[in-house]
């Protein structure tokens, strides 16, 4: 009888890094990231060990066509426009930014669910953008995704057991008995019961469905899990449970997470490093603590300032974001943030800023990142009292490291 390995990947090399846990990057394997070849070259030269995931100058442009019969191209959506970063084993890199900035497109490119227009995605040094056939299937096993809406991603006609077993069937793992045993094990890992295998998605709550989505993602023992807004659709108390489950599984199996989220309280709890995206590019990336305590890019500052702070003395240090995000079909020249930036100068309108290294692993794509006056760190690290309470809720249920 063929068998299914009884437990997911290698023992955790690291741990996910709670607020007091040094991240894998800090422990020495660390990746830094930024836009453009300069940063990519800097990265490539400075780290001996290969990161689990390395993304270099990734681009996804969508042509916009008009006309039914003789459709002609009338524009280009620059959804992802030159993104570079690395992710180490056992590490969580959070990807944040306003709606439409290219987070999900980046996630899909990383998993090769869509083809890039340019750039490179490497898993342990192997470029996956040219893989096909068996090699691509092997990659699919190593990298999985958890979606925001587990209901939409689960086939309503498949029982939960069949849904969790499906990736094992696709990858030819185990026979029916071994897969059934593994399904029971996975249900236990995510806090569900073996009898849930015979039920259907509509019989579960949102939080339970997300647990099913997590079990399904772990079924093929991935090393990398892309979490695309995994808790955004859930109630706050359920969010804490699911976030803590993800952390626990990360510690247990050494998973690397590319974690997409809007909610900075969730990001602060989950991430080791944070990458801030704006109009298809990463504009700042840093260790979580550095980013929350001393953000350098005006956009990052505005994102943090957009969370109202109850302490009046902390208000007004940063002008909150005004105006709308420009269309990715008409990205402004020079610094793409200049149309909304309170510090914009003439240089910003004409020259695209390079990624400046502000500190170890801290890069910001702003001409003035090194000279802008620092913003005092707000108590609670830039989070509102409500967000801080939610963070405490997450921390209360945090698994023992
Ligand atoms: N298939 C497509 N064709 C054309 N444009 C697309 C396509 N997919 C995404 N886009 C555009 O690319 C941009 C980035 O989309 P994406 O879904 O990556 O954003 P996001 O950061 O995940 O946003 P959200 O936070 O709302 O999920 C958006 O302007 C979107 O409309
Ligand atoms: S380069 Fe100029 S416009 Fe862009 S973020 Fe920096 S100060 Fe603002
Ligand atoms: Mg998205």
pLDDT for 399: 44
Nearest CA to ligand 2 atom 1: 366
Residue 392, beta-bridge partner list: none
Q: Ligand 2, residues 297, 341, 371: which to mutate, most atoms within 8 A of Cβ?
A: 341
Closest CA to 97 of 320, 325, 296: 325
- Straight-line distance from the first to the last Cα atom of the chain, in angstroms, rounded to the nearest whole number: 36
pLDDT for 265: 87
pLDDT for 225: 98
pLDDT for 7: 46
Distance between CA 197 and CA 165 in Å, rounded?
10
Ligand 1 site, residue 280, Cβ cutoff 6 A: no
Query: What's the gap in Å between 104 CA and the centre of ligand 2?
Result: 25
Q: Are 254 and 90 in contact (CB under 8 A)?
A: yes
Give me the half-sphere count of Cα atoms (radius 13 Å) on the Cβ side of residue 34.
Answer: 27
Query: What's the gap in Å between 341 CA and the centre of ligand 2?
Result: 6
pLDDT for 22: 40
Atom of ligand 2 nearest to the CA of 297: 5
pLDDT for 152: 83
Distance between CA 245 and CA 397 in Å, rounded?
9
User: 326-329, long-range: CB within 8 Å, 24+ apart, which pairs?
Assistant: 326/279, 328/77, 328/78, 328/79, 328/81, 328/100, 328/102, 328/279, 328/280, 329/64, 329/75, 329/76, 329/77, 329/78
Atom of ligand 1 nearest to the CA of 64: 4
Nearest CA to ligand 1 atom 1: 62
Q: Are 224 and 258 in contact (CB under 8 A)?
A: yes
Nearest CA to ligand 1 atom 8: 105
> pTM of the prediction?
0.85
Q: What is the mean pLDDT of each run of 10 residues along the chain (401 residues)?
A: 42 35 39 39 50 97 88 93 97 96 97 96 93 88 90 90 96 95 97 97 94 96 96 89 95 97 90 98 97 95 74 55 88 97 96 95 96 69 61 59 35
Atom of ligand 2 nearest to the CA of 341: 8
Distance of CA 225 to the CA centre of its chain: 9
Extract the tokens encoding 300: 């990052």
| Closest ligand relative to 145 C-alpha | 3
Nearest CA to ligand 1 atom 25: 99
Tell me which DSSP letter residue 28 carries: I
Distance between CA 273 and CA 96 in Å, rounded?
11
> Domains plus CATH for the chain?
25-65+73-396 (3.40.50.300)
Distance between CA 339 and CA 362 in Å, rounded?
24
Ligand 2 site, residue 394, Cβ cutoff 6 A: no
Helix, strand or coil, per DSSP, at residue 59: strand
Residue 215, beta-bridge partner list: none
Nearest CA to ligand 1 atom 27: 99
Extract the tokens encoding 143: 């990298």
Residue 126, beta-bridge partner list: 123
Distance between CA 258 and CA 224 in Å, rounded?
8
Name the one residue in this structure whose structure tokens are 């599984």.
249
């Amino acid at each position: 009888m063929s068998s299914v390995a009884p437990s997911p990947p290698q023992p955790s090399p690291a741990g996910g890094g709670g607020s007091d846990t040094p991240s894998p990057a800090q422990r020495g394997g660390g990746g830094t990231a930024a836009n453009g070849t300069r940063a990519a070259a800097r990265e490539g030269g400075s780290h001996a060990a290969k990161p689990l995931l390395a993304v270099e100058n990734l681009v996804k442009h969508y042509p916009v066509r008009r006309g039914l019969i003789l459709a002609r191209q009338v524009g280009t959506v620059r959804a992802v426009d030159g993104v570079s970063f690395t992710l180490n084993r056992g590490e969580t890199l959070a990807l944040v930014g306003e709606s439409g900035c290219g987070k999900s497109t980046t996630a899909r490119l990383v998993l090769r669910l869509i083809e890039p227009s340019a750039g490179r995605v490497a898993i342990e040094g192997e470029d996956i953008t040219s893989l096909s056939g068996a090699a691509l299937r092997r990659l699919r096993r190593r990298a999985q995704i958890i979606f925001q809406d587990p209901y939409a991603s689960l086939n309503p006609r498949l029982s939960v057991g069949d849904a969790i077993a499906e990736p094992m069937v696709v990858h030819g793992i185990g026979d029916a008995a071994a897969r059934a045993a593994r399904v029971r094990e996975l249900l236990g890992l995510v806090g569900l019961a073996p009898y849930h295998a015979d039920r259907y998605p509509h019989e579960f709550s949102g939080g339970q469905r997300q647990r099913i989505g997590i079990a399904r993602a772990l079924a093929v023992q991935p090393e990398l899990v892309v979490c695309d807004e995994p808790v955004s659709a859930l109630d706050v108390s359920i969010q804490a449970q699911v976030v803590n489950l993800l952390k626990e599984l990360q510690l247990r199996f050494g998973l690397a997470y590319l974690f997409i989220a809007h909610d900075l309280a969730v990001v602060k709890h989950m991430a080791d490093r944070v990458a801030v995206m704006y109009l298809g590019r990463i504009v700042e990336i840093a260790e979580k603590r550095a980013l929350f305590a001393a953000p350098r890019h005006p956009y990052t500052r505005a994102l943090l300032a957009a969370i109202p702070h109850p302490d009046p003395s902390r208000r007004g240090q940063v002008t909150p974001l005004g105006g709308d995000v420009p269309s990715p079909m008409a990205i402004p020249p020079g610094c793409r943030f200049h149309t909304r930036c309170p510090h914009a100068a003439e240089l910003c309108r004409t020259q695209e800023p390079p990624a400046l290294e502000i500190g170890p692993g801290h890069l910001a794509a702003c001409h003035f990142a090194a000279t802008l006056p620092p913003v005092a760190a707000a108590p609670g690290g830039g989070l509102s009292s409500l967000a801080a309470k939610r963070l405490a809720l997450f921390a209360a249920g945090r698994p023992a490291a």
